[in-house]
Amino acid sequence: MNNPAGKNKILLVQLFSNGDCLYATTIARQIKQDYPGCHLTWAVAGFCRSIIEGNPYIDAILEINDVPKNDVAAFRRLKKRLHTEKRSGFWKELFITQNMDENQAYYDGCIRTGIFRSYPHPVTVDITPVIRLTEKEKEKTCAFVKAHDLENYQYRVLFEFAPQSGQLPITKEFAVKLAEKIVENTDIAVILSSALKINHPNKRIIDGSTLTLRETAALTFYCTHLIGCSSGITWISTSDHAKLLPMIQLVNPNTDWVNPVSRDFQRHGKSTDNIIDLLNLDQQNIICCLQLCLTDFPAAKRKYNEIIPVRFKTTKKIVYNLICYFQFKAIIKHIKVNEEVYGNNWSFYKQVVLAFLFFPLTLLRNFLTKRILTPFKS
DSSP 230-272: SSHHHHHTTSTTS----EEEE--TTSSS---HHHHHHHTT---
Which residues are within 8 A (CB) of 333 and not within 5 positions of it... i.e. 6 or more apart?
102, 105, 106
Decide: 159 and 192 in contact? Cβ < 8 Å.
yes
The 10s digit of each residue's pLDDT in 114-140 is 999 999 999 999 999 999 999 999 999
- The H or E element that residue 342 is part of is helix 328-342
User: Is pLDDT of 171 > 90?
Assistant: no
User: Is pLDDT of 60 > 50?
Assistant: yes
Q: For residues 117 and 119, give the distance between their C-alpha atoms in angstroms, rounded to a whole number.
A: 5
**Where is pLDDT greater, at 53 or 194?**
53
3-state secondary structure 128-197: CCCCCCCHHHHHHHHHHHHHCCHHHCCEEEEEECCCCCCCCCCCHHHHHHHHHHHCCCCCEEEEEECCCC
- At 16 the three-state DSSP class reads coil
User: Is pLDDT of 378 > 50?
Assistant: no
**Where is pLDDT greater, at 4 or 347?**
347
The 10s digit of each residue's pLDDT in 273-322 is 999 999 999 999 999 999 999 999 999 999 999 999 988 989 999 999 99
Homologous superfamily (CATH) for 135-304: Glycogen Phosphorylase B; (3.40.50.2000)
Fold of 4-117: Rossmann fold (3.40.50)
